[in-house]
Structure 1
């Protein structure tokens, strides 16, 4: 009997759990997650705006595992010993595996900003998400740090919620050191800047250097007051791998090969935001990548357990991305192309509901 342990209920692992209902008898599947519920990041903005209920945004991992014949353990993995093939959890449990896969996401904080950790409102791990959005709803002065999709989408969704509730005196600001949506190209960046300003988002270009109680400072001498501050300036590596002997990249992400295996330990796998592909180090850490890695991970975990064939993951050069900008309108990008429309939001809504619905038991 081979034991495959999945650590974290991320996009790739959801696919494996669902497929494990067709598992071979010689394989035992175990999922270890800190929460019974996995909240789908693609619907964070819609929940923030009040479009989705909490239940619509989450997947019940315990029920999903039960229906698939997978053991569910509600714990947090604190350390891994890849030589002894042991995992230690926060409850003092020790699990032994033949194969292990990590899909634990990333952090949203930064050690480079003085004082941020004391005052940041982290929405990751994502089981903290509902409570934190409640705090944002109660904030009369909110500052988002970061100019990427996650930051601007959450800012626009919160603004739409505020307007709907009649909270005209509540301000929302975005502090960004680079152009908004810089990776999408100058055309999309200018368009998103126009959208944000038209919605009443206060934009401040600069790098945040220090965060104090109720006030933050940027490198151009500007200071901003806040009630809640949230860093969404790009993913940061989870601390788990930095405290182990597993090879990581310079930022601390688990380093894997094209087969999604650790470059040193072939029975250790990693996908999604917590891992970096050695041959594609600049591959975006987003849900699109994680979802596409799911079938490859499943094939490779089952193939490795059976001593059979495994296959490489081949990243897409371009992919479709849709952000919600409030009022059921979407900002669609594909390469350097972008557009704003209601049908883009409807497409996003259909994709997101369909994804979550696959894992409801």
Structure 2
């Protein structure tokens, strides 16, 4: 019997867990995750705004594993020895595998900004998210670092919650070194800038160089005070992979081929934010990519275990993305096209509720 270990409860692994047949006798499946619950990142903004309850945003991995006939282990993997095919957890347990897959997401931190690590409010791994949102809601001056979709969506959702609660005097600021949602194109970027201003977000153009206990410093010589600060300036590699002997890209993400296999160890797989495709290094690290990798990962893990066929992952050139911008309005982008209305939010809500329901039922 082959042993396949899934490390992390990310989008791609959720698909695999749903596909496992409980009566399967040729493969032993194990999921190792630091929390029983996997919080769905697509609903982070809605939870921040108060639209969803905590229970509506999370998937019970233990229950999902029980239905699949998969062993669930609530631990954090500290290291991997791909030569001996061993994993070491924070509880001192050693697991041996025939095949292992990593879908552990990324982290929201930056070692390039002096002092950030000490004062940053980390919402990843995802199970830390709920407790951190309470801190943001109580913060009178909140600073988000980053101009991408994650940063501006969270800022707008937090601002919407504060306005509903009567905290109009609470400042929500976004510091960004490049145009907002730059990858969506200049037209969408300008539209998002107008939206942010109209919703009361304070925008500051600049690159953060230092963070101390009360102020943010930019390279342009400006300083801003804060009560809470959160870095959402793009995904950063989880330390587990960078500290291993597995080959990574220059940023520390697991380097995988088109079959989602480690370029050096074909029995090690990676999907979602924690991995970089060797042939498509600029592929966005987001939920859309991770969801689309799920079926390929499933076929390749089971195919490899059976000594059968595996298939390549083929990225798409354009994809639909919808951000929540507060008050049940959505900002939809597809390539360079974008629109803002309530219909876009309703579509996002339908997609998100359906996704969680698929694994939580």
Bin the TM-score by the shorter chain: over 0.9
**Which residue pairs with 1:146 in the alignment?**
146
Structure 1 residues 242 and 273: alpha-carbon distance in aligned structure 2, compared to 1, 3 A threshold: same
- Equivalents in 2 of 1:359, 1:309: separation in Å? 27
Q: Deviations over 1:133-163 (max 9, x none)?
A: 0100110110000000000000000000000
- Equivalents in 1 of 2:53, 2:281: separation in Å? 36
**Which residue pairs with 2:71 in the alignment?**
71
SS in 2 for 1:327: coil
Q: How much has 1:22 moved relative to structure 2?
A: 5.5
Q: How much has 1:182 moved relative to structure 2?
A: 0.5
**Which residue pairs with 2:205 in the alignment?**
205
- Equivalents in 1 of 2:21, 2:179: separation in Å? 46
**Which residue pairs with 2:243 in the alignment?**
243
- Equivalents in 1 of 2:338, 2:360: separation in Å? 33
- Equivalents in 2 of 1:244, 1:128: separation in Å? 24
**Which residue pairs with 2:234 in the alignment?**
234
Q: Deviations over 1:239-269 (max 9, x none)?
A: 1111111000000000000000000000000
- Equivalents in 2 of 1:241, 1:295: separation in Å? 23
**Which residue pairs with 1:132 in the alignment?**
132
**Which residue pairs with 1:321 in the alignment?**
321
Alignment of structure 1 residues 185-196 onto 2, 5 Å: 185-196=185-196
Contact kept, 8 Å, 2:16 with 2:294, in 1: the verdict is: yes
**Which residue pairs with 2:176 in the alignment?**
176
SS in 1 for 2:117: helix
SS in 2 for 1:359: helix
Moved over 6 A (4+): none
SS in 2 for 1:217: strand
- Equivalents in 1 of 2:244, 2:152: separation in Å? 34
- Equivalents in 2 of 1:264, 1:213: separation in Å? 43
SS in 1 for 2:109: coil
SS in 1 for 2:239: coil
Contact kept, 8 Å, 2:115 with 2:211, in 1: the verdict is: yes
**Which residue pairs with 1:85 in the alignment?**
85
Q: Deviations over 1:167-194 (max 9, x none)?
A: 0110000000000010100000000000
**Which residue pairs with 1:33 in the alignment?**
33
Q: How much has 1:23 moved relative to structure 2?
A: 6.1
- Equivalents in 2 of 1:217, 1:23: separation in Å? 58
**Which residue pairs with 2:269 in the alignment?**
269
**Which residue pairs with 1:12 in the alignment?**
12
- Equivalents in 2 of 1:257, 1:75: separation in Å? 28
SS in 2 for 1:108: coil
Structure 2: tracts of 5 or more residues without a match: none
**Which residue pairs with 1:57 in the alignment?**
57
Q: TM-score, normalization: structure 1? A: 0.99
**Do residues 48 (structure 1) and 48 (structure 2) align?**
yes
- Equivalents in 2 of 1:331, 1:90: separation in Å? 41
**Which residue pairs with 2:349 in the alignment?**
349
Structure 1: tracts of 5 or more residues without a match: none
Q: Deviations over 1:22-75 (max 9, x none)?
A: 563110000000000000000000000000000000000000000110000000
Question: RMSD in angstroms over aligned alpha carbons?
Answer: 0.6
**Do residues 94 (structure 1) and 94 (structure 2) align?**
yes
Q: How much has 1:21 moved relative to structure 2?
A: 2.6
SS in 1 for 2:20: helix
SS in 2 for 1:118: helix
- Equivalents in 1 of 2:238, 2:21: separation in Å? 30
- Equivalents in 2 of 1:156, 1:139: separation in Å? 15
Residue-pair matches, total:
361
**Which residue pairs with 1:300 in the alignment?**
300
Q: TM-score, normalization: structure 2? A: 0.99
Q: Deviations over 1:265-313 (max 9, x none)?
A: 0000000000000000000000000000000000000000000000000
Q: Deviations over 1:302-328 (max 9, x none)?
A: 000000000000000000000000000
SS in 2 for 1:240: helix
- Equivalents in 1 of 2:37, 2:12: separation in Å? 15
